[in-house]
Chains A and B, each alone.
Chain A
Amino acid sequence: MEITDKLLREIESLARLPLQQDERESLRRDLSRILDHFESLAELDLQGIEPSSHVAQAEPFYRDDEPRPGIGSKIALSGAAEIEDGHFRVPPIIGEEEHA
Chain B
Amino acid sequence: MPERPGLRESVERIRSGNFSSRELAENCLRRIEALNGKLNAFAHWDADAAKADIQDGPLAGAPYALKDNLCREGTLTTCASKILEGWISPYSGGAAARLDEAGARYLGKTNMDEFAMGSSTEYSVYGPTKNPWDSSRSAGGSSGGSAAAVASEMVPLALGTDTGGSIRQPAAFCGVVGIKPTYGRVSRSGLVAFASSLDQIGTLTRDVGDAALALESLMGQDPLDATSLGEAIPALQPELDRGVKGLKFGIPAEDQWMQLDAGPARVFQDSVDALREAGAEPVEIALPHAQHSVAAYYLIATAEASSNLARYDGLRFGPRREAETLEELLLANRSQGFGAEVKRRILLGTFALSAGYVEAYYQRAQKTRTLIRNDFQKAFETVDFMVIPTTPTAAFHLGEKSDDPLSMYLSDIYTLPASLAGLPAASVPCGLDAGLPLGTQIWAKTLDEAMLIRAAASLERAFPFGEIRRAALASLVEAS
Interface residues of A (CB under 8 A from B): 3, 7-8, 10-12, 14-20, 23, 27, 30-31, 33-35, 37-38, 40-42, 44, 46, 49-58, 60-64, 71, 75-76, 78-82, 88, 90-93
Contact = CB atoms under 8 A, between A and B. Distances in A.
A47 B325 CA distance: 48
A12 B347 contact: yes
Contacts of B335: 17-20
B449 to A, nearest CB: 13
A27 B335 CA distance: 14
Among A57, A63, A64, A82, which residue has the most Cβ atoms of chain B within 10 A? A57
A50 B370 contact: yes
Interface string B398-433: 000000011001100000000011100000000000
Given A37-B295, A79-B318, A91 B405 contact: no
Contacts of A3: 351
11 contacts: A17-B350, A34-B298, A38-B295, A38-B299, A38-B361, A41-B361, A46-B364, A50-B367, A80-B317, A92-B326, A93-B325
B366 A51 contact: yes
Given A17-B347, A91-B326, A52 B317 contact: no
Contacts of B406: 30, 33-34, 37
Among B340, B348, B373, which residue has the most Cβ atoms of chain A within 10 A? B348
Nearest to A38: B295
Contact of A60 (B227, B316, B363): B227
Contacts, number: 170
A23 B341 CA distance: 11
B315 A51 contact: no
A54 B197 CA distance: 5
Contacts of B109: none
Nearest to A37: B406
A88 B315 contact: yes
A18 B292 CA distance: 31
B452 to A, nearest CB: 16
A80 B316 CA distance: 4
Nearest to A53: B366
B331 A79 contact: no
Interface in B278-310: 289, 291-292, 294-296, 298-299, 306, 310
Given A79-B87, A92-B325, A23 B347 contact: no
Main DSSP-derived SS at the A contact region: loop
Contact of B331 (A18, A50, A76): A18
Contacts of B211: none
Contacts of B338: 17
Interface string B309-346: 01000111111100111101111001100101001101
Contacts of B373: 52, 55
A75 B90 contact: yes
A79 B371 contact: no
Nearest to B306: A15
B475 interface: no
A14 B90 CA distance: 31
A25 to B, nearest CB: 13
A41 B365 contact: yes
Nearest to A48: B367
Contacts of B331: 16-18
Contacts of B316: 79-80, 88
Given A55-B197, A79-B87, A63 B346 contact: no
Contact of A81 (B314, B328, B351, B422): B314
Nearest to B313: A16
B351 A31 contact: yes
B237 interface: no
B296 A31 contact: no
Contact of B334 (A17, A23, A75, A81): A17
B346 A15 contact: yes
Contact of B350 (A14, A27, A80): A14
Contact of B326 (A7, A23, A49, A93): A93
B347 A11 contact: yes
B419 to A, nearest CB: 9
A97 to B, nearest CB: 14
Contacts of A93: 325-326
Contacts of A14: 350, 354
A45 B296 CA distance: 14
Contacts of A56: 183-184, 227, 422
